[in-house]
Amino acid sequence: MYKALVLKELRETMGITILALLAYFVGIVCLTGYKVLPFLPEPGLREIPFLGGNKYGWLMVVSAVVFAMALGLWQTLGESIHGTWQYLLHRPMDMRKLIGVKLAVGGGLYLVVSALAILVYAAWAATPGTHASPFYWWMTVPVWKGWLLILLCYLCTFLAGIRPGRWIGTRLMPIAAIYLLAVFISIIPDWWTMVDLGLPALIVVCVFLVYLIFHIARTRDFS
């Protein structure tokens, strides 16, 4: 039963995952100093990987955010649009396990695929002769922090997709919270290093969002 549901989620999110891989590929190639698409600006001089403020870093961040949010919406709104919630609820699996599998597959896809992109770029940076600047693995720490932080985008979007109500109402509140978080981080870019509770706070927020998702799934009328 679990295997069938996991395969279903993987099959339905395959298109999003492939697009994310392509976007990451373009971003990595641009970060290494090559121009892939004609409408993109010239890469210019190569900068220090992970620390040089490369102007193509935004492409990787946007790709990760869009990937995470697309997964969350597709896994929830897709069921509503196709009217498959009732079919899933009539299977011999309670709602908590159903939502748990969805979260595990969606969150796992984001984490694994995005981590793969980071590791590929880091492997290039660690290879001698690829650039004229030093590289140490500790230089990737800020990127890994962002990798974990963007997981909130997936959870908030999943929560917005599974919530009842109108999109012009409170249903968009979780996505609005993502925007406020982005503003906060842009104002205080070193918040994680300034506050020792950065990682524990992120874990607490993720647990709280998962709790809200399970609570709404248990109390919502999907008919």
Q: Is the pLDDT of residue 216 over 80?
A: yes
- Checking if the pLDDT of 94 tops 90, the result is no
| Amino acid (1-letter code) at residue 220 | R
Distance CA 155, CA 212 (A): 10
* pTM for the structure as a whole: 0.85
* Cα atoms in the 13 Å half-sphere on the side-chain side of 153: 20
More confident residue, 174 or 160: 160
Give the best-scoring range by mean pLDDT among 29-33, 105-109, 140-144: 105-109
Rounded to the nearest integer, the mean pLDDT of the chain is 79
Q: 107 and 6 in contact (C-beta within 8 Å)?
A: no
What pLDDT score does 194 carry? Answer: 46
Q: DSSP H helical segments within 32-150, as ranges? A: 57-82, 85-89, 95-126, 141-149
Lowest mean pLDDT among 32-36, 166-170, 189-193, 216-220: 189-193
**What percentage of the chain exceeds 70 in pLDDT?**
74
The shares of helix, strand and coil residues in the chain, as percent rounded to the nearest 5, are 70, 0, 30
Among 69-73, 182-186, 217-221, the minimum mean pLDDT is found in: 182-186
State the Cα–Cα distance between residues 8 and 11, nearest whole angstrom.
Answer: 5
Select the highest-mean-pLDDT range: 43-47, 60-64, 139-143: 60-64
User: Does residue 187 carry a pLDDT above 60?
Assistant: no
Rounded Cα distance between 133 and 130, Å, is 9
pLDDT at residue 158, as a whole number: 92
The predicted pLDDT at position 195 comes to 47
Check pLDDT > 70 for residue 157.
Answer: yes
Average pLDDT of the residues in 176-195: 58
Instruction: With a cut of 90, say whether residue 113 has pLDDT above it.
Output: yes
Tell me how far apart the alpha carbons of residues 191 and 187 are, in angstroms, rounded to a whole number. 9
Look up the domain containing 70 and give its range: 2-219
Structural domain total, the chain: 1
Please say if the pLDDT value at position 45 is more than 60: no
Q: Which residue has the higher pLDDT, 27 or 38?
A: 27
88, 79 Cβ separation under 8 angstroms: yes
Decide which of 34 and 12 is more confident: 12
* CA pair distance 143, 145, nearest whole angstrom: 5
Which residues, at least 6 apart from 162, have a Cβ–Cβ distance to it below 8 Å? 76, 99, 213, 216, 217, 220
